[in-house]
Structures are given as structure tokens and as C-alpha cells.
A and B are shown apart, each in its own frame.
Chain A
Amino acid sequence: MRTINTTMLLAAAASLAACKWTEFDDLSGQTWVESTEKPDVKSSDFGVAITRGADANDSATSGTLAVIGAGPGTYSEIAYTGTGSSSLKTSGQVLSALGIMTLDSPPILLSSPTSSEIALVTTGDTGSIVVAAGKHTLEIHQLFIGNTTLGTGVAIATTPDAATYVHPPNFPAIATAPDNEPIVAVGDTLLGTVYGLPTNTQQPACKITAGVQVRALGAIRNVGGTDDVLVWNGVDGKLLRYAAIVFNGCTTTAPVTAIASTPPADTPAFLPGHGSQIATIDSTRVLLQGHEDVTKGNASFLQVYDVTTLKPVGKSVAKDGMRSAAFLKTDTGEYAVVGLPGATIDGTSGGQVEIYKLTTGGGLADPAVPVAILHDAQPESNEVFGRSVAVVPFLGKSVIAVAADNEIFMYFRANLTDGTPLYAETRQGR
């Protein structure tokens, strides 16, 4: 009898504690965040830079994400189905074939505001600057040979400082200029890239006024359809605006003339380092996310600027650790998405993403504190969660993508800290 009782007790305990492991599969399907770990690509450091992928603007049913891997450099595109599951659309294109042997840190990854094109701007293997662009597959778009004196004595270095897509006025030497083309900044020089440059035509290059150190570039669309170029000066921290015409004017034989910023910029408090960003919000506002060079410090800065007055709007955030930023517009408002890859979560330096609310048509809301914080629910040390952030179109909505060490997080649904939706479920069938 004692034996039977013991057996029954064991059976009862087992039935109470027995588990259906498929519950975890079900729960995994209920998460708001799709995590994609490093696929079978050659890069050992997957996700050093991300941006929205090709076709993202064209598709109303899914989204794509462009991902750069390092060691060696690769280009990948992750495609997301309407239900949120992911697959590789471009599987680890090896960039060494394009002469890109060692990626800059961070590499400059751009997405065209008007087309599906993606562009990578980085240092090439022979002392050159490579602009590789394309849809799904990158190709050599422009190659700037280093240590070359262009035009009237404009000498260029081999490492790009900043880049952005601009839509310049038609270049007179060609019949039809492309819609948007990346331009690259090196020191105080802007280098233009144009498809189909006539043979033997010298690369367009303009030297900006001496004393300007370009650390971030942006573009603002003018009424006429052309763009002005925004420069965040690493010398005095001022935001400068140049008519893109100067880019065209600095060609061939004409000496490069320094162009004063107009109107004069206000005086921001932060001197940006390499990798600082100018994210376009609309035709009148840009989001400036600056940070010191890694070798100099960890200070960082966040501020919305009015590009018409070149004055800051709203509150600013000055704190350590902000390394990437993106602008997010949802049904609930406008937000600045900022990555802090070195942030500490519950004692673990796993990194996090802070989301700041913008006032309608204005800058950072007062107080300028995060309205939401994203981080890995199980952070790991040196995960560098948020080392690159992007806002990706998905089924007609915008969702946040966050890069971490060899892992990409796609937030199809997010809440604010107060529990209200940042944006509701964006996937189908949920």
C-alpha cells in the first residue's frame, strides 16, 4: 500500500509540474519583437549599421531592412512577411569584391529618401572612398581616389567624414542628372557623385569655407525640388546651410570658393564627432544627434533644429552614450529614436534605445526625458543594443529596428513607459 501511495504521489506531483514545451513556441509567436540573429553570412560582426531596405517604400505589405556586417564586410537585406517572420532577401553580399576590405567604424549607410536605393559610403582598399549603391545588391557607384587634388587644388583625404543623399540642380555637363545622389564630405570638402559623368570629367568638388570641419551632413528640399546641404561643423558646432548650387559651381576650372553659411547659425553647445547624424524630419526641421569621437569621449547631444532659422527648437538632451538616431512618426505623434549601445540595464551594459517625444511641429518635448525605453528583455554584457537604429516602413506603418551585436530587433509593436501604445500591432493576423 505504501508503494502504491508513493507512486500516486509522484504521479500527482508530475502532473502538476509537467509542462507543455509547445507553450513556449506559442509564446514566442506572441512576442512584439522579431529578433533575427546573424544569418549564415561571412561577417563575424553582423549589424554594425542598419537602415530601411530596398523596396521598403514601394511595398504596402511588408518591410525590408538593410544590414551591414563587418569582419569581413557584407551587405544583407532582411525581408519581413506581413506576419512578421523574417528571411534573408540578400544574403551576405561580400563587400571585398567592391574593394571594401575594412569598414569604417561606423560605416555610413544611407537610404534614398525618394527611391529604393541604398548606399554605403566607406573607405576603399586602395586609399579611396567607395560609394556602393543599389537595390538588393550594392555596386560601385562612385570611387574617389584618395590624396588627389581636384579642381583648383582641392585635395581630398581617403576617409569619408559624412554623407547624405541630395538632389542637386542639374549638372550642366550631363543631360539628365539622377534624382538623388549621395554626396560625401571629407574634412572641409564636399565631393559630389553623379551617374554617367562624362569621360575625363573631373569629379565635382567644392571646398567649404576654411575652418569648417564637416561631421554630419543633411539635405533639405527646396521649393524648386532641389536640396540645400546641411553641415554640422565639428569646429564650432554650428549648423550650416548651403545651397546645393555651390556643389555644381565648384567644378572644372573654377577655384573652389569657401561659402559662408547663410543665415548664420545659432551656437549649439555640442561639437559633433565622426558618425554624428542629421536626420530629416520635414522640410523645416532636422534632428541632430551628435557624439564625440570614440577616442575622445562619450558625450552626446540631441536637438531638433529649424532649418529655416538654423536655430534649435524645443529641449535638448545632453548626456553620455547616444550613438545613433532616427525619426519616427506614428499615429500617436513624432518621436526621436536614439540608440545608447553602452547603456547599463540592471547592472548589465547591454545597451538600450531611448524614445523622446516631439511636440507637434516642434522639438523635443519638455521635459526632455525618454517616453519609452527599449532594451533586450534579457540583456547581455557588451550586447551593444542600439548601436544602430532605423525606422522601417512596414505595411504602411513605421516600425523601429534596432541593431545589436549580431542580432537585429524589429519592433512590430511598442508601448510607452506609461503603458499606452507607442504604436499598435502592425503585423497582420494579430
Chain B
Amino acid sequence: MRSRVAFVVGMVVFALATGPALGQPAGALTKAQSAFDQAQLDYLQGKYDDAARGFVDAFAARQFPQFLYNAGASYHMKGKQTSDPEAYQKAVDAYTEYLKKDPQAADKAKVEKAIGVLEAEIKRLKDQPATEPAAGTGSAAPPPVAPSQEVQQLGEVKPRGLIVIESDPSNATIYLDDKRKGAFATTPWSGSLEGDHKVIIEKRGYTVIEKPVSADPSKLLVLLASMSQQSFLGWVEVSSNVPGADIFIDDKAVGAVGRTPLSQNIKPGKHTFWISADGYDEYKQEIEVIPNETHAIKAQLKGSPVGKLNVTGIGIEDATIIVDGKTLCERGPCLKSLQQGDHTVSVQRPGFKPYTKQITIQAKTETQVRITLAPNPSRSDAIVAYVLAAGFGGGGVFLGLQANKYRDDLKKEIAAGHPPPDSNDPRFTKGKIFAIAADATFVVAGITALTAVYYTFREKGAPSAGLIDVRALALRPEIGPGYAGIGMGVSW
């Protein structure tokens, strides 16, 4: 206990002596980094006491809680190696102080478990009777007691690397990779990252800074953004009642510049903002940006529940997808949001039979339609039927005209009586035959024409088909630095 109090007092005195980190950012951070690097080297060489002191020195320079954890880890490894209760106690003190400095630490549970295991190990070691050195061995100290099984299960503990992002001035917004992902944090920020990233630092009235970072778990990486002031820029704050809505500025063709909520510098002048989200009507607002002034855009998006329609299939890239009579996608595959309800989906491709289906789109679902379009069959039979119909029709007209000529001649001659036709005049029979033949031919022509029409529109061969699959879209809360909302994902 005495050594624990001495450690804490030592650290506080050291911290007070070095002053607040933000007050002396440049020298303190350099000192902290130097101490960190030496401590890492000592740790790798097994000089755990030196390593722990180095991390404490780094904490004294800049009070990043991670330094305390690393100090604890160094004592932890020493204790494990030597079964020294005092080393374990120092590790417990450092871990405890670490959690005190960062109560929201992501590894809080894990660290608390380690503290419990180490405290039990301390007690076990102290309760163990002292062992005299064996006579004649010449050895000064007995061999260390093996760590308990619980300690073994904690595994090897290593110091952690640290990324520190600071800006001058501070309180700038940090974005990772793409502003459309939303704000990540504000400066100063320290923590761990994995992989390569692009860090975007933005603050009202200052130049935007973009820098790449490659996270190294064994190093202290310091990104210090010195931001120059630009007084000619305006500031815009865009928010919407639907979090995560796409934001377009001035030209939709360049794509969304971010998602709500968004704050950023913007050049003075007239600008047009579009805020849109699937299933909602697009919100549009024009603003006149004035330098050094803040312009707030609060979009109220109106809409109704939506589901997704996903049309795929072989050759879909040459097909047009039409929903409710309007072209939804010029080319497939087509993944679009549709309001829930019944929709008539039609897929048309030149040379292929169209596929048309009444599909019910349900909210929070993705309706996938996999199309198999059947090629258009030959219509030569219809053409032949049309030609025959025209031929019969023409023949019928000819025969009808002949019949009418006989009729008219007979009428005329009967009326004139000069000479009067007799009751058995062959023209009566001929005319009747022509008339019957004409009517019969018209009937045949009509039947042939109807057949041709039938041939034209009949379904020949297999029709185009679609396989419909409905999948649930899960709505889940999303929380990010500076925003909270509902996100949508697909599961099946």
C-alpha cells in the first residue's frame, strides 16, 4: 500500500510539475513521445521497471490515460515474470488509475478483470510461507513461484500504441475517410485505430486539413493540425429530420458531399442544397452564403414507408425496368426504393417478350425479382395469315362487286323491260353465287384476319418469367460522433 500511494503521488506531482498538456502542446507532446518510445524499447528488452517509469513520464508530459495502462502492463509483465507482489501491486495501481482517467474505456471490463486476478495473486504470494535457500547451493534467492492459473489465462499483456490528433485551434471536427460517413470526433482526440485512413479536420473559418494515417499498435502517433484561418468562407450546418440523408450541393452529378448532420465551410455566394433519402421527397433550399456567417439548413423530409425493389437476371443490362408506367431504370440491374403497396413492374428488352408482374412492395423488405426473358417468337405465321386475309378480303370485294354489278344490271333491265330478263336468267344464279361466294369469302377473310390477329398477340413459346424473393430489411439504430439515427440493412 505504501508503494501504491507513493506511485500516485509521484505521478500527480510530476503532472503538476509539467503543467497541463494543452497548455504546452508542442514541448509536452514531444517529451511524452520521447518517453513513450524509450519505454516501448525498454519493454521489448524486458526492462519492465524502466518501461513503466517511461510510460509514467509520458503521462506526466501528456495525460493520455493510455500511458497509464501501458505502465500497468509493464508492471504486470514484471510481476508475472518474477512473482513479485510489489510489481503486481504497481500494476493494479496503474490499471486503477487508468480507469479513473478514462471511465468510458472500451476495455474497462477486461482491465477490471485483470485487476481482480492480480489482487488475488498478490494475496496468494503474500500468504505463501517464506522459503529458505537450500544449503550448499550457494544461491542467494529461491526460484520464483509460478504464476497462478488465472494469471496465466490473462495471457501476455503488451503496451498499446496511440494515435493523437490535435489541432490548433482545437475543437475542430474530425472526419475519417469520407465526410459522407459523418463526423468522427473533435480535436483533441486520442485513441486507437486500425489500418490506413484519411483524416479530415475541419473547423469553421479555417482551412480544411486532410492527412493520411497508418495506425501502428506499438507506437505513439501524433497528428498535429495547425489550421490557418480563412475569414472569407462561410459556414453551413445541414441537418434533417431523417439522419443520414444524402446532401448534394450545387451539382447533383458530382454525387453526395455528405450526410446529415453536416457542418462545413463553404464559399460565399449562392448555393443550392438538395437533401434526399430513400422513401422521402427531396428537400431543396437555396441560400446566400456570407463570409464568417453560419447558415443553418434544417431539412424536413416527408415521405412514407418504403421497400426495395431489386431486379436482376441474365441480360438485364439491356433491359428497361418500368414501374407503374414510368421508367425506373434505363438499364438493369435495378435496385431502387419504392413506396410500399402494389406496383406493376415491367421489364422490356428489344427482341424479347416483356415480363410484367403485379408486385406488392412491403416496407422494410427487399423484393428481389430475378428475370428470365424469353426471346420473341417468329411471327411469320401471322404474316402469312394477314396476307391470306388480305387475299380473301380482296377476293371477297371482287366477288361482291361482281354480284352487285349483276344485281344492278338486272334491276335496271327489269325496270326497263327491254328486254326483260326471265326468271331463269343465268345472272340470277351467277349473282347469287357471287354474292354467296363474296360473303363466304368475307367470312373466311374475317376468320383469317382474326386468326392473324390471334397469331400476332398469342403467347408463343415459353413466356418471360421472374423469380420473386422477398427479404427483410432490418432497421437498427446507428450512433456516431455527433449524430444518432436509424440505419437499414439486409438480412436473410
B161 at the interface (CB under 8 A from A): no
Chain B nearest Cβ from A377, distance in angstroms: 4
Is residue B389 within 8 Å, beta carbon to beta carbon, of the partner chain?
yes
**CB of A401, distance to nearest CB on chain B (Å):** 12
In the assembled complex, the Cα of A195 lies from the Cα of B167 at a distance in Å of 161
Q: Is B422 touching A377 in the complex (CB atoms < 8 A)?
A: yes
Which of A281-289, A291-299, A411-419 lies at the interface?
A: A411-419
With contacts A27-B407, A27-B411, A31-B423 taken as known, whether A20 is within 8 angstroms of B418 at the C-beta atoms is: no
A375→B439 contact, CB < 8 A: no
Q: Min CB distance, A429 to chain B, in Å?
A: 15
**Chain B 108-147 interface 0/1 with A at a Cβ cutoff of 8 Å (1 = within):** 0000000000000000000000000000000000000000
Of listed A25, A28, A32, A374, residue having the most chain B CB within 10 A: A28
Report yes or no: A31 in contact with B419, Cβ–Cβ below 8 A: no
- Chain A interface: which of B11-19, B93-101, B230-238, B445-453? B445-453
- Complex formed: what's the CA distance from A32 to B415 in Å? 10
Which of B386, B411, B419, B429 gathers most chain A CB within 10 Å? Answer: B419
With contacts A20-B435, A27-B407, A32-B420 known, is A7 near B427, CB below 8 A?
A: no
A14 in contact with B423 given A19-B403, A27-B407 (CB within 8 Å): no
Report yes or no: B414 in contact with A415, Cβ–Cβ below 8 A.
Answer: no
Report how far A177 CA is from B418 CA in the complex, Å: 48
Contact with B along A1-32 (1 / 0, CB 8 A): 00100110011011011111101110111111
> Interface readout for A337-372 with B: 1 if CB under 8 Å, 0 if not?
000000000000000000000000000000000000
Q: Does any Cβ of B come within 8 Å of A201's Cβ?
A: no
Q: How far is the CB of A128 from chain B (nearest CB, A)?
A: 38
Give the docked Cα–Cα distance between A17 and B427 (Å). Answer: 18
* B456 at the binding interface (Cβ < 8 Å): yes
Q: Which residue of B lies closest to A7 (CB)?
A: B449
For the complex, give the distance between the alpha carbons of A97 and B416 in Å: 46
Fill in one digit per residue for A395-430: 1 if any B CB lies within 8 Å of its CB, else 0. Answer: 000000000000101010111010100000000000
Q: With an 8 A cutoff between CB atoms, is B159 at the interface?
A: no
How many angstroms between the C-alpha atoms of A20 and B438 in the bound complex? 10
Q: Is the CB of A31 within 8 A of B438?
A: no
Query: Are A31 and B421 in contact (CB-based, < 8 A)?
Result: yes
Question: Are A21 and B435 in touch, CB under 8 angstroms?
Answer: yes
Which residue of B390, B431, B434, B435 is within 8 Å of A10 (Cβ)?
A: B390
Which A-chain residue is minimally distant from B420 (CB atoms)?
A32
A34 interface residue (CB < 8 Å to B): yes
Known: A10-B449, A25-B432. Contact between A411 and B407, CB under 8 A? no
Q: Which residue of A lies closest to B442 (CB)?
A: A14
Give complex CA distance A378, B419 in Å. Answer: 10
**At the interface, yes or no: A266 with Cβ under 8 Å from chain B?**
no
Minimal Cβ-Cβ distance residue in A for B393 = A10
Chain B residue at minimum C-beta to C-beta distance from A19: B435
Q: Are B407 and A23 in contact (CB under 8 A)?
A: yes
Residues of A within 8 A of B431 (CB): 21, 24
How far apart are the CA atoms of A28 and B427 in the complex, in Å?
A: 10
Contact yes or no, B404 A413, CB < 8 A: no
Contacts A23-B435, A31-B420: A377 and B425 contacting too (C-beta < 8 A)? yes
> A376 at the A/B interface (Cβ < 8 Å)?
yes
Q: Are A378 and B426 in contact (CB under 8 A)?
A: yes
Is B400 touching A19 in the complex (CB atoms < 8 A)?
A: yes
Q: Which residues of B contact A16 (CB under 8 A)?
A: 397, 400
A32 to chain B: which residues have CB within 8 Å? 414, 417, 420
Asked whether, in the complex, the Cβ of B419 is within 8 Å of the Cβ of A30, the reply is no
Smallest CB separation, A200 vs chain B (Å): 53
User: In the bound complex, how far is the Cα of B449 from the Cα of A378, in angstroms?
Assistant: 38
Which residues of chain B in 376-416 are interfacial with respect to chain A, using CB atoms and an 8 Å cutoff? 386, 389-390, 393, 396-397, 399-401, 403-404, 406-407, 410-411, 413-414, 416
B428 an interface residue at 8 Å Cβ cutoff?
yes
Which chain A residues border B390 with CB–CB below 8 Å?
6, 10
Contact A27/B414 with A6-B386, A18-B439, A409-B422 known, Cβ cut-off 8 Å = yes
- The listed residue (B397, B420, B434) touching A33 by CB distance below 8 A is B420
Say whether, besides A14-B396, A21-B432, A34 and B453 are in contact (CB < 8 Å). Answer: no
Q: Does A318 contact B (CB under 8 A)?
A: no
In angstroms, how far is the closest chain A Cβ from the Cβ of B414?
A: 6
The distance in angstroms between the C-alpha atoms of A30 and B417, with both chains bound, is 11
**In the complex, what residues of B have CB within 8 A of residue A375's CB?**
419
Assembled-state Cα–Cα distance A33/B424 (Å): 9
| Contact A417-B418, Cβ < 8 Å, known A13-B397, A17-B404, A24-B428 | yes
List of B residues within 8 angstroms of A20 by Cβ? 435
B216 to chain A, nearest CB (A): 72
Judge whether B185 is part of the interface by a CB distance below 8 angstroms.
Answer: no
Report how far A32 CA is from B432 CA in the complex, Å. Answer: 19
A35-B423 contact, Cβ under 8 Å, with A10-B445, A14-B393, A21-B435: yes
Contacts of A378 in B (CB 8 A): 421, 425-427
A317 at the interface (CB under 8 A from B): no
A31 touches B422 (CB 8 A): yes
B436 lies within 8 A of chain A by Cβ: yes
Q: Are A33 and B422 closer than 8 Å at their CB atoms? A: yes
Residue A265, interface by CB 8 Å? no
Contact A414:B420 (CB < 8 A) given known A18-B439, A19-B404? yes
Chain A residue nearest to B407 (CB atoms) is A23
User: Which residues of chain A are near B421, meaning CB under 8 Å?
Assistant: 31, 33, 377-378
B397 x A17 contact (CB < 8 A): yes
State in angstroms the CA–CA spacing of A409 and B425 once bound together.
11
Question: A101 within 8 Å of B by Cβ?
Answer: no
Q: With a CB–CB cut-off of 8 A, which chain B residues contact A417?
A: 418
Contacts of B423 in A (CB 8 A): 28-29, 31, 33-35
Verify if A58 is at the interface (C-beta below 8 Å from B): no
How far does the alpha carbon of A11 sit from the alpha carbon of B442 in the complex, in Å? Answer: 9
Residues of B within 8 Å of A27, CB to CB, are 407, 410-411, 414, 428
Query: Would you mind naming 23 contact pairs between A and B with Cβ atoms under 8 Å apart?
Result: A10-B446, A10-B449, A13-B396, A14-B393, A14-B400, A14-B446, A16-B400, A17-B400, A17-B442, A18-B396, A19-B436, A19-B439, A24-B431, A24-B432, A28-B423, A30-B414, A36-B424, A378-B425, A411-B420, A413-B420, A415-B417, A415-B418, A417-B418
* Chain A residues engaging chain B, CB cutoff 8 angstroms: 3, 6-7, 10-11, 13-14, 16-21, 23-25, 27-37, 373-378, 407, 409, 411, 413-415, 417, 419
